[in-house]
Structure 1
């Protein structure tokens, strides 16, 4: 039977339990009301009746976090997911060190977020918070702790997020870049072909290098995006980013013509060299090897300088494609599907600045239209 005492710091409960045949006393304090202390004590006793361990809450938090990761998360999803959790654990380890799981309260947890958030973006902070919170919530569910210290935590970083979607070329500059790119096409070097394809389709880099020749339908003038290539952890082919990213999109005649010439070269090259394109990749160099993201960006920036346009990265090709589609009045729902966004909301949020700019132009068109009615 637990006893309860009101202290300056809040209510405390004290109870005697049996662990491994030995009678020990468990105490916890800092509860706002007696009812909270009673709930905590009852939860502890209920856990023990279910065969749970009273020592869970006494564990050093990072030991608990490490065990939780190995048992419940490691290898269950992607390698990137594992790396993200491990990164979050390293961040938490610097702050909590030898702190016991039960010692982490809302004040300490918020201090942890504030500490890491100072000098990092909100997006980076949210990612760390997501995994630490998942561990704490599971700890509460298991009865290791009675309250979730991450509940309603304030997650705000101090470094503004880089708005990559605002870095794109307008239609005129994109045309200059395209002309510069195809001016000296050489099928021995795949980077230029990837730039053309990126401008024409708006595909992500991992999708571009994951395209195989069986995905391109020259008769129907379409390309099937049904996989990606893991260029970060070298795991080979992986699924697309989400279900909506698995799609079939149209491709223009000029780009198809360029791809046909590339395919002819690769066929001849395999015969003359004996080197095989084992994975049937579209975008490979003369040695049948994939192009790295760094290599592509290096070529792209050089071409931008030659074309005298703003230097952009390979991902900006995607934003350029989307922005041009929007400016030319294509239906936003169609654009969203073409880009493989999970919902149309993602498209509206990502390209809100382009849509706002277009709305200003349409406002002027309203005035012109009404002036015509009055005249």
Structure 2
């Protein structure tokens, strides 16, 4: 479940903190088509890598499109209702919430469009034409789905779902909650750039997160545009300047508008979202990419505690930024 990201974890104190018994422990691994990094302070090791790997494997068995034996793959291959496990049920409920509030800009039934444009599990030889898009759109729309208890009901044949745009945030929350249950209260849990953190370092200094964005020169490597810090919460990013495909000089973003059926092509380059939990942040970041910058700042007023940082291209081609007042307060550099 690989997802675009543009957050860089800045851990500037790998050694022991003098005068304090707590140490910094690090766990790194590969999962969900990307890498993960777990950092926490404690008096002694409280977490094993096998625990993290087991949690992430459980998520893959539920919602990975790259596993034919996952619940989501079984649902997509069938025509009947399916009993969801607790993980998929939570993610689907949040997906319906985001779908309603963003007026369909986030839609998990976008799976056939993602595949048609070449960003699915199977490679494609050419981009779809307008007739193919029109046909695919007949099975796109979360109005074609409903939840009955813990069962996912398909109202129309051919409806398939893709949870890649939200499941990684849920994975981060699951890992973070597991750490809290282990008694770890100062940590960063990060998967593919999506992260949740809590607490401070033993010396009272906060963790630092680098927010990445495109350089002013189109061919230059992305740069860290700001460094932020906060005591508790989650940050995720969605953007279109890293992940794209090109055929015959035609470049398309991996972010597909489920309403039109075509890749996004608007002012926004990336959206970084802060929320209390990673599931919420991850669920909204893709949908906000489908809006114009000013509309994003108005929309987030509907979601308590949400803050955003936007990178966009102005009409004259110049790259600029915009952010909510709360996000500005988190910037330390």
| Shorter-normalised TM range | under 0.3
Q: Highest CA radius of gyration, 1 or 2? A: 1
Q: Which has the higher strand share?
A: 2
Report the TM-score when normalising by structure 2.
0.22
- Name the TM-score, length of structure 1 as normaliser: 0.20
Which of the pair has the greater relative contact order for Cα pairs under 8 Å at 6+ separation?
2
Structure with a larger share of its residues in helix: 1
